[in-house]
Structure 1
Amino acid sequence: MGLRERKKEKTRAAILDAALDLFLEQGYESTTVEQIAGAVEISPRTFFRYFTSKDHLVLWFHDHGEAIMLDALAERPHDEPPFASLMSGLRAVLADLEESTPEDVERFLKLRRLFERYPHLVGLSAARSAETQRRLAAEIAARRGTDPDEDQFAHLIVAFALSAMRVGMECPRNTTSMAEIKERMAQTLEMTERCLRPGWDQQP
């Protein structure tokens, strides 16, 4: 990563940190983009170079996880069973969590607290997850040589995979330990693979 990219990532992280602190201290609805920008000593215009809105900011983990999964999926053999490819993508997300810095962990846990405090953000998260499901389903359909708008089975395969990740992330819901979250996610992925008959995802 070059100097310019490192500077951009540093600014992005600073915006995230300032926003999460303000959301938790004074409330999500009460916090403005101008306040977030002021806390980082940047202009609102600069803020919008990194995030399109406050809502986009709180969904940063979805953006990051989706990018990891799509990159991992692109590296898998096209003749590999689609669910196995998706599970490799989920394990790439888990590996990214394993490499988290203390700052990354703090951001993640603050975000969990934010979603618990403001249930309407859960709806935004669900809508963002649906976007990820559509993009992954399009990739799986392409491997199957089908139209993603018509291939319900491709969407079902992806839905099973993302459900495994969601259960791993959310159970137990009130944990404040990243180590426990990672352990439960790994256990859930293994459990999912044990529960499904090999070859089920290659049916028409």
Structure 2
Amino acid sequence: MSRPSEPRVAVFARYPTPGRAKTRLIPALGAAGSAALHRQLVERTLRAVKASGLPFELRTTGADAVAFQDWLGTLSVVDQGDGDLGERLARAGPPYPTLFIGSDAPDLSPGHLSAAAAELDRAPAVIGRAEDGGYWLLGLARAVPGVFDGVDWGTDAVFAQTLARLRTAGIEPVLLSELADLDRPQDLARWPDLAR
């Protein structure tokens, strides 16, 4: 069975409400500053996704679709729903192929997304490790039962656990280049233009 050559990008984003967005940065930036930085990251991510030319949808939490469209313009917005990140990712998968990304990697470029899409056209899965032990992108050509189950989300074990689940399913993913996330106060020095 053939599959479309272009995967859909599922972009996960939280509404930038002070005190509810980028909370680990609040000690350094304050609630309003952390929310403002998160706003920049989401906008930056969407610019990269749009420039890649890949179809995409925004998987949202923290506000309704109207609030996101007022902020970001007319685009496909789908509520993430309840549950842990694994449950929300699993719901975002169909239809496949899908590239799952967040909005925490400031260096994400259209080229990264195009490269991931090209690899996913030839492989069942692709994954890009984040420096903090998570991943900045996971691409699946088809559903992989259990890939999102029991992962210790938000820890440095996420990449290793996901890789193990893929391998248990008989899948050796293509490894993409590593990128850094902006999540913690110590990460701010890398992107001083974002922390103003």
Which structure has more strand as a fraction of its residues?
2
Per the shorter chain, which TM-score range?
A: under 0.3
Larger Rg: 1
Bigger relative contact order, structure 1 or 2 (CA pairs below 8 A, ≥6 apart): 2
Report the structure, 1 or 2, having the larger helix content: 1
TM-score under structure 2 normalisation? 0.26
